[in-house]
Amino acid sequence: MTHATDSTDFATLALPEALARNLDSLGYHTMTPVQAASLPPALSGRDVRGQGKTGSGKTAAFGLALLARLDVARFRVQTLVLCPTRELADQVAEEIRRLARQMHNVKVLTLCGGAPIGPQLHSLEHGAHIVVGTPGRVEQHLRKGSLSLEHLTMFVLDEADRMLDMGFEDALDAIIDDMPRTRQTLLFSATFDAAITPLADRLLTNPAIIEVESTH
Ligand code: ADP
Ligand code: MG
């Protein structure tokens, strides 16, 4: 049963029609707490620092926001999502494609290490709206000039805690230096300890801070 006034109802968000009508078919009937807290500020263009345990629905929290704010008519890399591993990047790209199923011609490209670079170069020549990748390989494409972040309007850093644990700090620094300063940034993590604070402070401007209690 759904209630039109329920704050966890996706209908309260005024999502683009093609995104909204797809949610039911995915079995997403109500927002998870991290989605209910982060989607309103993210959709309004605000930076977000979102914390929620594994399985709390963080992918759709940023996925719906980035798709709602995408200008599909502009075939440029507008969104970069960085994940700590190839497996996570593949999962995130799949979820974004599922969410975008009823939008027309949204191109999501994955750029991960451990995969041959040739096909990635070929795909980049054809272009994309959204790049999902791991820091090492994305940095490599920036250095080669095969990827440009000139038209980037949104940056998502997923699993920021693991990113630092895995030693991606230098690659992240290089990528961040290459991004336009005027952009929206969403930073998600399962945990937020002091180690992330300098990175979060550097990346985020007046962010909405979302902390969802563990429901064990
Ligand atoms: P996290 O990144 O926080 O670990 P995920 O984004 O991977 O979590 O989501 C965990 C699972 O919950 C996925 O299988 C996803 O399809 C599902 N899910 C996400 N949002 C919803 C929702 N609003 N309703 C039902 N299931 C959802
Ligand atoms: Mg996740």
CA 69 to CA 84: how far, in whole Å? 24
28-64 pLDDT, tens per residue?
999 999 999 999 999 999 999 999 999 999 999 999 9
Question: pLDDT value at position 4?
Answer: 44
For the cut 60, the answer to whether the pLDDT of residue 216 exceeds it is no
Residue 108: closest CA among 116, 97, 122: 97
Q: How far is the CA of 199 from the centre of ligand 2 (A)?
A: 19
Structure tokens given for 122:
């070929």
Minimum-distance ligand 1 atom for the alpha carbon of 56: 3
DSSP state of 104: S
How would you class 192 by CB atoms within 10 Å of its CB: exposed for 0-12, middle for 13-18, buried for 19 or more?
A: middle
pLDDT band at 214 (very low <50, low <70, confident <90, very high): low
Q: How far is CA 102 from CA 12, 75, 76, 141, in A?
A: 20, 18, 20, 30
Mean pLDDT of 160-166: 94
Q: Which domains does the chain have, with CATH numbers?
A: 16-204 (3.40.50.300)
CA 26 to CA 203: how far, in whole Å? 32
Q: What is the pTM of this model?
A: 0.96
Q: Which residue has its alpha carbon closest to ligand 1 atom 19?
A: 57
For the cut 50, the answer to whether the pLDDT of residue 2 exceeds it is no
Residue 32: closest CA among 2, 65, 10: 10
- Token look-up 């064990």 returns 216
Largest CA distance in the chain: 53
Strand-pairing partners, residue 155, are 80, 185
Mean pLDDT of 196-210: 95
For the cut 60, the answer to whether the pLDDT of residue 110 exceeds it is yes
Beta-carbon contacts of 23 under 8 Å, excluding residues fewer than 6 positions away, are: 10, 15, 29
Q: How far does Cα 69 stand from its chain's mean position?
A: 12
Q: How far is the CA of 57 from the centre of ligand 1 (A)?
A: 4
Q: How far is the CA of 126 from the centre of ligand 1 (A)?
A: 31
Q: How far is the CA of 11 from the centre of ligand 1 (A)?
A: 18
Q: How far is the CA of 95 from the centre of ligand 1 (A)?
A: 9
Question: pLDDT value at position 7?
Answer: 84
Percent of the chain's residues with pLDDT above 70: 96
Q: Which residue has its alpha carbon closest to ligand 1 atom 10?
A: 55
Residue 192: closest CA among 201, 183, 181, 179: 201
Q: Are the beta carbons of 75 and 69 closer than 8 angstroms?
A: no
Mean pLDDT of 163-167: 93
How much is the ipTM here?
0.99
Q: Which residue has its alpha carbon closest to ligand 1 atom 25?
A: 28
Question: Which residues surround the ion ligand 2 when the cut-off is CB under 5 Å?
Answer: 58
Pocket test for ligand 1, best of 28, 88, 98, 101 (most atoms within 8 A of CB): 28
How would you class 69 by CB atoms within 10 Å of its CB: exposed for 0-12, middle for 13-18, buried for 19 or more?
A: middle
List ligand 1's pocket residues with C-beta within 6 A. 27-28, 31-32, 35, 52, 54-60
Least confident of 4-13, 66-75, 129-138, 191-200: 4-13
